[in-house]
Amino acid sequence: MDIKQKLAMRKLIKKLESIRGRHTELVSVYIPAGYDMIKIIQHLQQEQGTASNIKDANTRNNVIDSLERMIRHLRLYKQTPPNGLAVFSGNASDHPSKVVIEVWSIEPPEPLNFRLYRCDQTFMLDPLKEMMEHKHVYGLIVLDRRDASIGVLKGNVIKEIASTASNVPGKAKTGGQSAMRYARIRLEMKKEFFKRVGELANQAFLTMKDLKGILVGGPVPTKDEFVDGDYLNNELKKKIVAMQDLSYTGDFGLQELVDKSKEVLAKEDITKEKKVVNEFFEVLRKEPGRVAYGKAEVNTALEMGAVDKLLLSENLPEEELEELQEKGEKLGAEVHIISIDTMEGGQIKGLGGYAAILRYSLK
């Protein structure tokens, strides 16, 4: 999904979630890609006939009118859009004595592979919400001789989901047989530790939907011994896409692992986001006149047509995001909606949610 699609989808979902039917009178229809639009219209006409049997007069009229509005809307389409269509119709009025039947439709960002008709007190929005979620997930494993952390990278969010300590003691300083016995004990404890880490990773990742790859990090030779050993499921081993030398475990280690794997993650949202935010602060450091931040400064720069890259925090009001995105695109600027779930996102939020890299200095 591009920015425009994301904003349109988010705005529609928010609007439809705010509507509640007094009875089962809100109509949701999902039309799969390639499906015959005429058949959908015929089905809705049949549902109109069925709705005439509803006992409550208000509900009956609202359902029939909603279906009629939807049928008229669908007749505007010569054929089903390439990705299918999601259509919703119902009484949008929040006044008990007033009826305002409206219809909404959106072509989803990915092809629909199912057909659905539902009449309920709420609109069926789960399929659209699922499309808004990031599909690709990366498993993260960081470990050293002291402890290990298992996490996931989903979209812009890094989350630790499990951890364990090794309890492996440091190397002995004495020699002789005692040292040899101590070394054997350390080796067995290390193997047990690796085994626990492997079990945690297997439990976390084997059934994980949309797992695109696994990143492993830690010092040499700890991470290599773990990967080379018989601790991680063979199917998961095949999904390892990067191994990085790290200094930390825990939250810092997971973050460091993602940062050092930027080439592997080049197409993922978090890498694109980090890159543009870091670029903004680099320009701010070197050429402070070629950046703007804060609502007033950024709007002034937009009015002057000086914005090259526009960075907007995702927690800004929907209407404002949409307005600024359209304004930026008309001026030929790159528009980036920055997540609030990352360190970089927190930096942009701290600037008021508005930042821009300019084509030329305004100071």
User: Are β-strands 85-91 and 26-31 bridged in parallel, bridged antiparallel, or unpaired?
Assistant: antiparallel
* DSSP, residue by residue, 296-316: HHHHHHHHTT-EEEEEEETTS
pLDDT tens profile 308-331: 999 999 889 888 998 999 999 999
pLDDT of 10 higher than 70: yes
CA distance 194 to 190: 6
CA dihedral (40, 44, 49, 54) in degrees, to 10, reads: 140
pLDDT tens profile 136-192: 799 999 999 899 999 999 877 899 999 999 877 666 555 555 778 877 888 899 999
CA distance 33 to 30: 10
Largest CA distance in the chain: 94
* DSSP, residue by residue, 161-194: EEEEE--PPPPP---HHHHHHHHHHHHHHHHHHH
- What's residue 318's pLDDT? 83
- What's residue 194's pLDDT? 95
pLDDT tens profile 180-228: 887 788 889 999 999 999 999 999 999 998 899 999 999 999 999 999 9
- Nearest Cα to Cα of residue 29 among 102, 93, 105: 105
The 8-class DSSP code of residue 249 comes to -
Instruction: Among 3-7, 36-40, 104-108, name the one with the lowest average pLDDT.
Output: 3-7
Q: Give me the helix-helix angle, 57-74 and 37-51, nearest 10°.
A: 170
Q: What is the mean pLDDT of residues 229-251?
A: 93
Sign of CA pseudo-dihedral 227, 232, 233, 238 = negative
pTM over 0.75: no
- What's residue 170's pLDDT? 67
pLDDT tens profile 254-275: 999 999 998 888 777 778 888 9
SS3 279: helix
Burial of 98 (0-12, 13-18, 19+ CB in 10 A): exposed
- What's residue 177's pLDDT? 56
Residues 6+ apart with CB under 8 A from 248: 142, 256
Name the β-bridge partners of 88. Answer: 28, 104
CA distance 133 to 16: 18
pLDDT of 35 higher than 90: yes
- What's residue 183's pLDDT? 79
* DSSP, residue by residue, 18-30: T---SSS-EEEEE
What domains are there in the chain, each with its CATH number? 3-128 (3.30.960.10), 137-260 (3.30.420.60), 269-358 (3.30.1330.30)
Higher pLDDT, 296 or 131: 296
pLDDT classification of 278: cutoffs 50, 70, 90: very high
pLDDT of 31 higher than 60: yes
Whole-number average pLDDT of the chain: 91
pLDDT of 303 higher than 80: yes
The backbone region for 232, taken as left when phi is positive above 0, alpha when psi lies in -120 to 50, beta otherwise, is beta
Cis preceding linkage at 221, omega within 30: yes
> H or E element: which one contains 144?
none
Residue labelled with tokens 């904003």: 7
